[in-house]
């Protein structure tokens, strides 16, 4: 398959793959890839010592090293490109598995939705999903190759940084169901326009087979617009149905617990051909409360409810009942660094949401902060990346939201985030309540001072793009 040259035992068996020699498990394939800072070929012997049964390395790199001795009962395969070999093998393993593939993309909520889809489908199927956000040309094939042979559903998050990238991932994964959470302004810096971003995201739906299904957000204008030009079966979810009447609707949202949301969900149980023609209110009245179970979601905010509705929609398409799906959501586990709760100084509560950020997710998290913290709140907000020409406007709008919500105190981190401060000031937040710093150290010191003066039980939101490393702020304030 990989058109390589084999040295060693041709009968050796392998299961799973790894690119970090420190984490190799017995029987795995170790791909010796060349990174920006390290070269996997330097760690081949260590990988074999850890238990790797097969090493795949690149001919050119191996030629410039001393002779590699292949241990007894193991094999070395020399190829032109280690990454291309991994992608080729992932294509083959996906086909051999015969599992259903659910692919998820969007400007916000991809990883959370992926975790929710896994929670819903695990009630009925053996599922395998990507770890954290392994969603690119390296992480996606690794996820597939590490799927156990009894996997029934593969759940794959797909990221993109340009046109053609999701199409490339789809050529490897061949999805049966495509989920687009929303189409926002993330990657404006790379793609230049919202239309280009929409086109890049829509590559997922275009890659579906004729029998495939698109799960789309009825509150997202671009998704609805593009769906009108597409022939695939579509299943819409939503809260208000701003742009399309939802097939699955969330209703009666109420906070519960420390950081949870309880809501009802209604499903329009009508045929595909009639689904878009029947008003939801009439169907809900007809089917009654039996089809409107309660969901106890361990996450706050409307944005997370929308992600939960996407997951329940996938469940419906794969014959998981709403009752089963709701049970799965109640017990779900999230990937790290997303809405983590920590105890802070002076009895404060820290909401650490530091994995990534854009204007939409910033505003959503601020809503959660206000909902939970009430009259005593502190927002520590850093820079948002990849917004291109929309960067200034995006940061400014976030600042306006801070003021509109009545957040008690605002700390901004980094030069770009000063626009957040400008937006808050322009919208009426007192300058005495706005504090801007070029780095994390100044922000940490100021936060500690403010929390000593604010009310006991203050809620604190810490959020920025991943490159800001705002988990350092969380770590400094966390009183564990």
pLDDT tens for each residue of 350-368:
999 888 888 988 998 999 9
Average pLDDT over the chain, rounded to whole?
90
111 is in an annotated binding site: yes
- 95, 61: one domain: no
108 labelled binding-site residue: yes
CB atoms within 10 A of CB 24: 24
| Inside any domain, residue 335 | no
Q: For residue 451, is it within any domain?
A: yes
266 is in an annotated binding site: no
189 domain-assigned: yes
Alpha helices in 338-479 (DSSP H): 359-373, 391-405, 418-426, 440-453, 471-477
Contacts of 356 (CB under 8 A, 6+ apart): 465, 466
What is the structure's pLDDT at 339?
Answer: 74
Residues 305 and 451 in one domain: no
The answer to whether residue 477 scores a pLDDT higher than 50 is yes
- Give the number of domains in the chain: 3
For 253-293, the pLDDT digits (tens) are 998 888 889 999 999 865 443 333 334 444 343 433 345 78
* Strand, coil or helix: 199: helix
112 has binding-site annotation:
yes
**The domain that contains 419 carries what CATH number?**
3.90.190.20
Q: Are residues 283 and 384 in the same domain?
A: no
Are both 65 and 119 inside the same structural domain? Answer: no
Confidence band for 28, pLDDT divided at 50, 70 and 90? very high
Task: Kindly state whether residues 354 and 298 are assigned to the same domain.
Answer: no
Task: Read off the pLDDT of each residue in 162-177 and give the average, rounded to a whole number.
Answer: 96
- Indicate whether 324 and 344 sit together in one domain: no
Of the three residues 36, 57, 80, the one that is the final residue of a domain is: 80
In this structure, are 75 and 91 located in the same domain? no
Lowest mean per-residue pLDDT among 175-184, 275-284, 375-384, 422-431: 275-284
Q: Which of the listed residues 80, 108, 129 is the one where a domain comes to its end?
A: 80
How do residues 147-161 score in pLDDT, each as one tens digit? 999 999 999 999 987
Residue 384 belongs to a domain: yes
What is the per-residue DSSP string for 457-475?
Answer: T-EEEEE--GGG-THHHHH
How distant, in Å, are the alpha carbons of 335, 382, 399, 420 from that of 363? 21, 13, 9, 12
User: Hey, CA dihedral for 214, 219, 223, 226, is it positive or negative?
Assistant: positive
CATH number at residue 246: 3.40.1190.10
Q: What is the pLDDT of residues 108-150, one digit of tens each?
A: 889 999 999 999 999 999 999 998 778 999 999 999 999 999 9
Q: Are residues 201 and 254 in the same domain?
A: yes
Would you state the pLDDT for residue 185?
A: 61
pLDDT digits (tens, 9 = 90+) for 224-258: 999 999 999 999 999 999 999 999 999 999 988 88
Beta strands in 278-330 (DSSP E): 294-297
Beta strands across the sheet bearing 409-413: 340-343, 349-353, 459-463, 377-382, 409-413, 434-437
pLDDT digits (tens, 9 = 90+) for 385-435: 988 888 999 999 999 999 999 999 999 999 999 999 999 999 999 999 999
Q: Are residues 45 and 130 in the same domain?
A: no
Q: Is 116 among the domain residues?
A: yes
pLDDT at 388: 82
Average pLDDT estimate for 58-74: 90
**Is there a binding annotation on residue 8?**
no
- The pLDDT of residue 84 is 97
Same domain, yes or no: 211 and 299 = yes
Give percent of the chain above pLDDT 90. 75
CB atoms inside a 10 Å sphere around CB 92: 14
Question: Looking at the predicted structure, is the pLDDT value of residue 178 above 60?
Answer: yes
End residue of a domain, out of 330, 358, 375 = 330
Q: Using alpha carbons, list the distances in angstroms from residue 101 to 98, 175, 271, 373, 389.
A: 9, 5, 24, 40, 36
Task: Examine residue 131 and state whether it is found in any structural domain, yes or no.
Answer: yes
CATH no. for residue 50? Answer: 3.40.1390.10
Task: Supply the pLDDT for residue 157.
Answer: 96
- Residue 410 falls within a domain, yes or no? yes
Q: Are residues 277 and 313 in the same domain?
A: yes
Residues in the chain: 480
**pLDDT score, position 335:** 66
* Nearby residues of 57 by Cβ (< 8 Å), 6 or more positions away: 32, 40, 41, 44, 68, 76, 77, 78, 79, 82
Q: How confident is the model at residue 188 (pLDDT cuts 50, 70, 90)?
A: low
Query: Is 304 contained in some domain?
Result: yes
pLDDT band at 187 (very low <50, low <70, confident <90, very high): low
Q: What is the domain extent for residue 215? A: 87-330
Q: Are residues 267 and 204 in the same domain?
A: yes
């Amino acid at each position: 398959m990989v058109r390589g040259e084999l040295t060693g035992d041709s009968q050796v068996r392998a299961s799973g793959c790894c690119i970090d020699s420190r984490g190799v498990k017995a029987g795995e394939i170790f791909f010796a890839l060349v990174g920006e800072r390290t070269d996997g070929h330097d760690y081949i012997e260590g990988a074999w010592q850890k238990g790797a049964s097969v090493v795949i390395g690149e001919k050119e790199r191996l030629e410039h090293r001393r002779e590699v001795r292949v241990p007894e009962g193991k094999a070395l395969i020399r190829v032109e490109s280690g990454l291309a070999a991994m992608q080729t093998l992932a294509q083959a393993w996906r086909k051999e598995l015969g599992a259903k593939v659910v692919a998820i993309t969007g400007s916000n909520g991809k990883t959370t939705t992926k975790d929710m889809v896994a929670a819903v489908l695990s009630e009925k199927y053996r599922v395998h999903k990507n770890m954290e956000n392994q969603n690119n040309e390296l992480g996606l094939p690794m996820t597939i190759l590490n799927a156990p042979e009894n996997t029934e559903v593969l759940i794959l998050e797909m990221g993109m940084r340009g046109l053609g990238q999701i199409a490339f991932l789809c050529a490897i994964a061949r999805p049966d169901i495509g989920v687009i959470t929303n189409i926002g302004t993330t990657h404006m810096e790379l793609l230049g326009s919202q239309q280009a971003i929409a086109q890049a995201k829509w590559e997922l739906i275009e890659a579906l087979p004729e029998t495939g299904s698109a799960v789309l957000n009825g509150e997202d204008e671009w998704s609805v617009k593009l769906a009108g030009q597409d022939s695939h079966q579509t299943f819409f979810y939503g809260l208000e149905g701003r742009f399309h009447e939802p097939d699955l609707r969330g209703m009666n949202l109420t906070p519960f617990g420390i950081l949870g949301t309880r809501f009802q969900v209604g499903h329009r149980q009508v045929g595909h051909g009639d689904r878009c023609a029947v008003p939801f209110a009439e169907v809900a009245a007809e089917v009654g409360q039996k089809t409107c179970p309660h969901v106890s979601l361990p996450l706050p905010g409307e944005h997370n409810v929308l992600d939960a509705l996407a997951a329940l929609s996938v469940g419906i398409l794969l014959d998981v009942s709403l009752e089963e799906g709701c049970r799965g959501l109640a017990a779900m586990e999230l990937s790290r660094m997303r809405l983590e709760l920590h105890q802070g100084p002076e009895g404060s509560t820290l909401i650490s949401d530091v994995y990534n950020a854009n204007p939409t997710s910033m505003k959503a998290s601020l809503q959660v902060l206000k909902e939970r913290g009430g009259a005593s709140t502190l927002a520590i907000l850093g820079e948002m990346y990849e917004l291109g020409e929309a960067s200034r406007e995006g940061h400014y709008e976030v600042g306006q939201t801070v003021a509109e919500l009545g957040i008690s105190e605002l700390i901004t981190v980094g030069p770009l985030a000063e626009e957040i401060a400008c937006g808050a000031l322009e919208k009426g937040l007192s300058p005495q309540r706005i504090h801007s710093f070029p780095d994390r150290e100044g922000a940490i010191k100021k936060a500690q001072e403010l929390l000593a003066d604010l009310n006991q039980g203050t809620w604190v939101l810490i959020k920025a793009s991943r490159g800001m490393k705002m988990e350092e702020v969380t770590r400094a304030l966390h009183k564990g």
